[in-house]
Amino acid sequence: LQHTGPAVVFTDLRDLAARVDDPALDVTPESVLVLQNAGPVGAPGMPEAGYLPIPKKLAEAGLKDMVRISDARMSGTAFGTIVLHITPETARGGPLGLVRDGDRIRLDTGNRRLDVLVDEAELARRAAALPSAEPPKYRGYRKLFAEEVLQADEGCDFRSFVPERRKIAPVLTQNARHPGEKKT
């Protein structure tokens, strides 16, 4: 699949719920829906919110699928042309947070590429203008979660729960025998 279209950006789940079915939404079948801030920290908890619905006006016109992109996840029983688990997520300063309405996005599944067709200098300017990607100042469990949760590609576990990776020296060598093995 190869597809290029203009981005329609939803900044979070509330924005998606408020605008996706608005008849005034500037969206066409060629558009690429983008949901930001739905990953482990941004949502929080990485809910199954990645199945962005087809905007009502397009669904009523018979559209069954369109390209959708998010840092969220979705149910395994859902379907469609949806790119999920984008990492690092928007809330951690990931590239999805640089996408704006109207940016051209190219999806090329054969070459395993997803590109925002925006000049590098413009992306750098947008990145410099972003607020700090530090976790919000919460208390209690929410604070622990925001500071410790890993990204989707790392399993969304708490950093402190992941054992250290240690190099283990080989126990057996080519000439070694099992302790109960007889010499031949």
Count of alpha carbons within 13 angstroms of residue 77, beta-carbon side:
0
For tokens 């950006």, what's the residue?
9
Q: Classify residue 158 by its DSSP letter.
A: B
75 catalytic, yes or no? Answer: yes
CA dist 75 and 8 (Å) reads: 22
Q: Which of 31, 75, 132, 160 is catalytic?
A: 75
User: Which residue in 2, 51, 61 sits closest to 29, CA to CA?
Assistant: 61
For tokens 């203009």, what's the residue?
6
Strand 82-83 relative to strand 32-35, pairing: unpaired
CA dist 93 and 50 (Å) reads: 19
Neighbouring residues of 98: CB distance < 8 A, sequence distance ≥ 6: 116, 118, 123, 126, 127, 130
Which residue numbers are catalytic?
A: 75
